[in-house]
Each structure stands twice: as structure tokens, then as C-alpha cells.
Amino acid sequence: MMDPLDRINVAGDSTYVIMRECTDRGHATWMCTPDALFTLDGRCFVNATPVRTTAAAPHFHTEDPVQLELGDFDVVWMRKDPPFDMAYIFTTYLLDMAPDHTLVVNGSTGLKQFNEKMWVQLEWPQFQPPTLITNSIRRLGDFVRGRREKTVLKPWDGNGGRGVLITTADDANLPSMCELLTEEGTQYVIAQGYLDKVVDGDKRILLFDGEVLGGMLRVPNDFDHRANMHAGAGVERCELDARDLEICAALKPHLKKWDMIFVGIDIIDGHLTEVNVTSPTGIQEMNFLYDLHLEGNLVDCVEAKLQEKNA
Ligand SMILES: Nc1ncnc2c1ncn2[C@@H]1O[C@H](COP(=O)(O)OP(=O)(O)O)[C@@H](O)[C@H]1O
Ligand SMILES: [Mg+2]
């Protein structure tokens, strides 16, 4: 389950290398977009396109779509990119209909239960910077003006750095920013203490079935404060410190419980800001930085999980 093949940038996409790994291992693979799913009398079906994925162009070799049932697959990879909107959530309801012997990665129940930014607020507030989430323009303004340091404002459902703004108590744009981001007080917005060490990087750590695979720093460029690769940030090697490992250890039982098998978390200066579960990326960048083949580790992990499930 993914975005259309012609939108996949093979130079950086994690889904592409996972698909390639599956083809290389001799696994039959299919692709579809969310609109290919339907349910009839309690069973979920899909119009799926058989695809072989190769290193050489044209990369994706497809055949005519066939109608299959979710239970015909060993694994369903939910790799549709955000937005995390009602259409996305509805897809997770359909994926919930996969029978017990089919493994859905990441688990569809958890995908709808937890939001990438709200999950931190809900479960691990001790690892966050000071954080207010509200749709009240007045409350946002009061929070920012009550702080001596800078504050970040961001949409609760953003990704790739979309809409992330920095502001201060004396910012003449503040009221206007709050109106815009809340869409006149109707949309929830996150106001969060600005962590100034972000200039040295926002750490992305990859976890497969709760185990830490490694991390990298995403470092903002000179023209944009945001440390998202989408916003032109560069990537660097880094070590994981005791605090990073403490955060990962706290997350592990939750990730395992909800079948969150491929997860990327964001840590800025020892603070957890996001648990990316919808369609995390970073495999190709980490492979490049550390000379790894992480898609192999991930597929190993999924194969083991499937065996465990059906033992
Ligand atoms: N509390 C913060 N302090 C400093 N910078 C932040 C903070 N929150 C977000 N940012 C900046 O915005 C970027 C994106 O924020 P994030 O919360 O991870 O949302 P997204 O889902 O858009 O990636 C971060 O990489 C960082 O550069
Ligand atoms: Mg992020």
C-alpha cells in the first residue's frame, strides 16, 4: 500500500529499497494505492498490481492488476505517505480486516490510535520540551508571551517541516501567525519550547521492532531553520548518547505491543519531538552514511515476526 509508482524518487525512497530487497529474496510482491481496497460482506479485497523491483531502470516492472484478498498476502506494508487525514484513517479500518495470519506493517490499529506528535504528549511528556496544544488563538499568544526564550509553532498534523515557524514574545507577526496556523481558531496547533541546539541537528533514530538500528543528524541549511530532509537539510553521522538510548528503551514495549515495526523517532538535544510511524524514511541515507544495507535488516525482522506470529 503506497503512493503511485511514478511518484517514487528511487534515489532516496525507503519503500523502493524495501521492495527491491523483497524482489531480490524471491518474494512475490504487489503494489496498490488506498483506493484499490474494498470490503464485501466482511472480507477485504484489493486490486493489486504485481511488481518486480530492480536496481536498474525502469526500476518497477508491473503486470496487469489482479483481485486478491488481504488474507492472500503474508505481509501488507502500509507505506502510504501522509497526510494523516480521514482518508488515511479509513484505510487503516480496511487494513484492520486482514486475518490473523497476515502481518500488517506498521500495525493498522496502532496507526489510527496514535498520532506521531500526540503520542509523545500522551505517553512520554517527560521527554518533551514545554508543549501546549490548542486551537485557541488567545492561549497560543499567552503561551508565547509568557516565555523568555523562542517558541516553535507547528500544525499537529504536519510532516516534512510544513508550517513550522519560530516566534518570540515580542514578535509583531505573532497574532497573525496564530490566526493563520489555527485557521481562525478551528485547527489545533502545537506551541513548543524552541530547542536552539537544533542548529547542530535533529537526530533521526531508526528502530526495527523496537530495536535501535542507528541514528543520523539532519542539519538545517543556511537558509531554513528546519532540519527536515524535505527542507534541504543535510545528513551527518552521529553517536547515540545515554539519553537517546533511555528514550528508545522507554518506547520499545509500546512499539512492540502495537506492531510498530518500522519507526523513525526525532530527538532534538535530548528531547523527543516525534515518533514517525506512518511512512518513516531514512534507510537510504543511513545506508550511505554508514555503509549499511538496512532494508535487509528490516525484511529479516519482518520475516522473523511473521514466523513468530504463525508458529
Ligand atoms: N521544539 C523545537 N525546537 C526547535 N526546532 C524545532 C522544534 N520542533 C520542530 N522544530 C524544527 O522543525 C522541524 C520539523 O519538526 P517536527 O516536529 O519533526 O515536524 P515534522 O513532522 O514536520 O517533521 C525539526 O526538524 C526542527 O528543525
Ligand atoms: Mg520530524
The tens digit of pLDDT for each residue in 80-104 reads: 999 999 999 999 999 999 999 999 9
- Residue 186 main-chain phi, psi, to 5 deg: -110, -20
- Encode burial over 193-206: b for 16+ CB neighbours within 10 A, e otherwise: bbbeebeebbbbbb
- How many domains does the chain fold into? 3
- Flag whether 308 is in a domain: no
Assess whether 189 and 202 both reside in one domain. no
Assess whether 95 and 30 both reside in one domain. yes
The answer for residues whose C-beta is within 8 angstroms of residue 12's C-beta and 6 or more apart is 229, 281, 284, 285
| DSSP state for residue 97 in the 8-state scheme | T
Structural domain for 182, as ranges? 130-194
Q: What is the CA radius of gyration of the chain?
A: 20
Which of 49, 81, 113 lies at the terminal end of a domain, its last residue?
Answer: 113
Q: Which cell numbers in the block locate residue 148?
A: 523568555
Using a 6 Å cutoff on CB, does residue 163 contact ligand 1? Answer: no
pLDDT, position 2:
98
Which of 21, 209, 244, 274 is labelled catalytic? 274
Amino acid at the residue 127: F
Assess whether 51 and 144 both reside in one domain. no
Assess whether 139 and 103 both reside in one domain. no
Assess whether 70 and 16 both reside in one domain. yes
- Flag whether 245 is in a domain: yes
pLDDT, position 205:
98
Give, for all 311 residues of the chain, the pLDDT tens digit: 999 999 999 999 999 999 999 999 999 999 999 999 999 999 999 999 999 999 999 999 999 999 999 999 999 999 999 999 999 999 999 999 999 999 999 999 999 999 999 999 999 999 999 999 999 999 999 999 999 999 999 999 999 999 999 999 999 999 999 999 999 999 999 999 999 999 999 999 999 999 999 999 999 999 999 999 999 999 999 999 999 999 999 999 999 999 999 999 999 999 999 999 999 999 999 999 999 999 999 999 999 999 999 99
Structural contact between residues 274 and 119, judged by C-beta atoms closer than 8 angstroms = no
pLDDT, position 165:
98
How would you class 123 by CB atoms within 10 Å of its CB: exposed for 0-12, middle for 13-18, buried for 19 or more?
middle
Using a 6 Å cutoff on CB, does residue 152 contact ligand 1? Answer: yes
Q: For 152-183, what is the HEC assignment?
A: EEEECCCCCCCCCEEECCCCCCHHHHHHHHCC
- Flag whether 306 is in a domain: no
Which of 157, 226, 228, 259 is labelled catalytic? 226
- Flag whether 229 is in a domain: yes
Which of 140, 168, 194 lies at the terminal end of a domain, its last residue?
Answer: 194
- CATH code for the domain in which residue 181 is found: 3.30.1490.20
pTM of the model: 0.97
Assess whether 81 and 161 both reside in one domain. no
pLDDT, position 47:
98
Which of 20, 79, 203, 204 is labelled catalytic? 204
Q: Which ligand is nearest to the CA of 160?
A: 1
Using a 6 Å cutoff on CB, does residue 251 contact ligand 1? Answer: no
- Flag whether 119 is in a domain: no
* Whole-number Å distance between alpha carbons of 158 and 203: 18
- Counting atoms of ligand 1 from 1, which one is nearest the CA of 276? 21
H/E stretch holding 287 reads helix 283-290
Assess whether 274 carries a catalytic annotation. Answer: yes
* Whole-number Å distance between alpha carbons of 279 and 73: 20
- Counting atoms of ligand 1 from 1, which one is nearest the CA of 228? 25
**Residue located via cell numbers 537510504:** 284
- CATH code for the domain in which residue 215 is found: 3.30.470.20
The tens digit of pLDDT for each residue in 26-60 reads: 999 999 999 999 999 999 999 999 999 999 999 99
Count, in order, helices (H) and strands (E) of the chain.
9, 16
Using a 6 Å cutoff on CB, does residue 192 contact ligand 1? Answer: yes
**Phi/psi class of residue 310: alpha, beta or left (left: φ > 0; alpha: ψ in -120 to 50)?**
alpha
- Flag whether 243 is in a domain: yes
pLDDT, position 57:
97
CA angle, residues 151, 156, 159, in degrees to nearest 5 = 95
Q: Whose CA is nearest to atom 25 of ligand 1?
A: 227
- Counting atoms of ligand 1 from 1, which one is nearest the CA of 220? 27
pLDDT, position 206:
98
Using a 6 Å cutoff on CB, does residue 70 contact ligand 1? Answer: no
Assess whether 286 and 219 both reside in one domain. yes
Assess whether 218 carries a catalytic annotation. Answer: yes
Assess whether 212 and 290 both reside in one domain. yes
- Flag whether 232 is in a domain: yes
Q: Which cell numbers in the block locate residue 199?
A: 542548529
Assess whether 15 and 77 both reside in one domain. yes
* Whole-number Å distance between alpha carbons of 68 and 48: 7
Which of 194, 209, 238 lies at the terminal end of a domain, its last residue?
Answer: 194
- Flag whether 303 is in a domain: no
Assess whether 150 carries a catalytic annotation. Answer: no
Assess whether 179 and 234 both reside in one domain. no
Using a 6 Å cutoff on CB, does residue 157 contact ligand 1? Answer: no
Assess whether 93 and 166 both reside in one domain. no
- CATH code for the domain in which residue 18 is found: 3.40.50.20
Distance 278 CA to ligand 2 centre (A): 12
Q: Which cell numbers in the block locate residue 74?
A: 503474508
Assess whether 176 and 223 both reside in one domain. no
pLDDT, position 161:
95
Using a 6 Å cutoff on CB, does residue 151 contact ligand 1? Answer: no
